[in-house]
Structure 1
Amino acid sequence: MRRYGPAALLLLTGGAVLRITLSGELYLRYVQAGLRPYLIVSGAALVLLGLVTAFVSGGGPEQDGHGHGPRVAWLLTLPAVALLLFPPPALGSYSADREAAQRAAQGVGAFPALPAGDPVELTVGEFSSRAIFDSGRSLKGRTVRLTGFVTHGDDGAWYVTRLAVACCAADATTGKAEVRGADALPADTWVTVTGTWRPKGALGSDEAWPPVLDAGTVTQVKQPADPYEKA
């Protein structure tokens, strides 16, 4: 069966890619929605290549090696099997807590007006950008609603946090807002927080990060199908 090792690796890898891409929205844990067609094509190509490799290998002579190389090569199938059977969860508090605060490379300036009506639904990234850089103070006096997962600070503070991706999970950056006036839930719990912005620090300064949200309500929610915001 050693001759079929490369074919098995291709088939398992292709099958894993197709599984996470075709089984609902599981692929959104790793890449943006726009990349789905490319994943489907790549997975199908790997499966087809695996079948061709198996067919070609079946017609060749059996290798008679006594070394450990072929046996060790089979270990390469383990990551593909793991992905096929046990796809990992979306990035969460572990990733967020280990990334330095990254803020948009933009200067202080006026932002477009917020939509009428309260509460206004914002991404965590939008709230952070307006809180830190908006010279027009568009958040002042407005009630906002943010959805994200819980992370904890070393000083007892807790945050509603969201990871933003430009392409895939590998380039994720962290946005967060400190929540005050409500008890913290366990890390990685998804919540929707409704509240008002509390100004702190000078615009564009390190002291303004992370922005603060005085909570009116905190509601536990399910993780959304797409757990990431767009960077």
Structure 2
Amino acid sequence: MNRAAQNFVLLLIGAAVLKIALDGTFLRYVRPGLHPYLVASGVVLVLLAAVAIVRDIRGREEHDHHSGRSQWLLLAPITALLIVVPPALGASSVQSGATTQAAIAGPASGGKVRFAPLPAGEAPTIRMYDLIDRAAYDSSGELDRREITVLGFVIRTDEDGSARTDGSRGGFDLARVVITCCVADAQTLRIHLGGAIDSLPDDTWVSVRGKVVPDSATPANNMTPTLTVTRLQTIPAPARVYG
């Protein structure tokens, strides 16, 4: 690859990194905490490319002028990143097995412990990870007494849908994809939805209010609780799609 192509690739990579960092689509790839590093990296790459291009123009350097045009095809994937934004991982990645079921780490003691009280309110919204953690290991009984609200996308489990974590099929699950660093380490969180629920397409984002069925999170179903639904409403996909 000649110097002009190298500099242009560097410029496109920097521009692509800056674009996803500034328009918020970086949240489809990495955790929010990496945002400052993405911006800094994009700026450095663009500056390096600009300096190299200016230096070559001034020096009138012409290296590998006849190296062929096929090398420019390497720019296509980078250019595509500037134009096309891939969708976030969702129901299809869960059903295909692309994201494995996340394991909820229990207390160091190996048994149940008393968790802090749930947030105040009639049905406080909590993260799905916290819901599963409490259902599996909280000895306070808070989830037995109170309704909670949780957000996620719908996964159909009957017929040709994705089987539940215990292998059974029927109804719907609610899921979130979680990442530690980036989508390469993505894993799935799921809860079973119980009660009368209208049929919804996979990947429909919903806000679900209900009460956790006591002792429904067991090792047999990978500590996946069942939430008896009292209210369900569709919502737009959040900016932070990964839990």
- Matched residue, 2:124: 120
Distance in 2 separating the partners of 1:140 and 1:117: 16
- Matched residue, 1:205: 219
Distance in 2 separating the partners of 1:4 and 1:137: 66
* Inter-CA distance 204–79: structure 2 relative to 1 (3 Å threshold): same
- Matched residue, 1:77: 75
- Matched residue, 1:39: 38
Q: Unpaired runs of 5+ in structure 2?
A: 158-162, 164-168
Q: CA deviation at 1:207?
A: 3.4
Report the secondary structure of 2:42's partner residue.
helix
* Inter-CA distance 95–22: structure 2 relative to 1 (3 Å threshold): same
- Matched residue, 2:234: 220
State which of 155, 164, 174 in structure 1 corresponds to 2:188: 174
- Matched residue, 1:109: 112
Look up the equivalent residue of 1:136 and give its one-letter code. S
Report the secondary structure of 2:209's partner residue.
strand
On the 8 A contact 1:152/1:158 being kept in 2, the answer is yes
Report the secondary structure of 1:129's partner residue.
helix
State which of 117, 141, 146 in structure 1 corresponds to 2:150: 146
On the 8 A contact 1:130/1:137 being kept in 2, the answer is no
Look up the equivalent residue of 2:111 and give its one-letter code. V
CA offsets 1:74-111 (integer angstroms, 9 cap, x no match): 22212211111112122211233313322222133222
- Matched residue, 1:63: 64
Report the secondary structure of 1:187's partner residue.
coil
On the 8 A contact 2:218/2:224 being kept in 1, the answer is no
- Matched residue, 1:29: 28
Q: CA deviation at 1:200?
A: 4.3
CA RMSD across the alignment: 2.2
Q: CA deviation at 1:214?
A: 0.8
Report the secondary structure of 2:131's partner residue.
helix
Distance in 2 separating the partners of 1:72 and 1:206: 55
Look up the equivalent residue of 1:222 and give its one-letter code. P
CA offsets 1:187-206 (integer angstroms, 9 cap, x no match): 111110111111345x6522
Report the secondary structure of 1:120's partner residue.
coil
Moved more, 31-40 or 101-110: 101-110
CA offsets 1:15-55 (integer angstroms, 9 cap, x no match): 111111112x2222222222111111100111112122323
On the 8 A contact 2:104/2:132 being kept in 1, the answer is no
Identity rate, percent: 36
On the 8 A contact 2:135/2:212 being kept in 1, the answer is yes
Look up the equivalent residue of 2:38 and give its one-letter code. L
Report the secondary structure of 1:166's partner residue.
coil
On the 8 A contact 1:6/1:53 being kept in 2, the answer is no
- Matched residue, 1:9: 9
Q: Which portions of structure 1, spanning 4 or more consecutive aligned residues, are displaced by more than 3 angstroms?
A: none
* Inter-CA distance 156–204: structure 2 relative to 1 (3 Å threshold): closer
On the 8 A contact 2:124/2:149 being kept in 1, the answer is yes
Report the secondary structure of 2:100's partner residue.
coil
Structure-2-length-normalised TM-score: 0.83
Q: Between Structure 1 and Structure 2, how many residues are aligned?
A: 224
Structure-1-length-normalised TM-score: 0.87
Q: CA deviation at 1:183?
A: 2.3
Q: Unpaired runs of 5+ in structure 1?
A: none
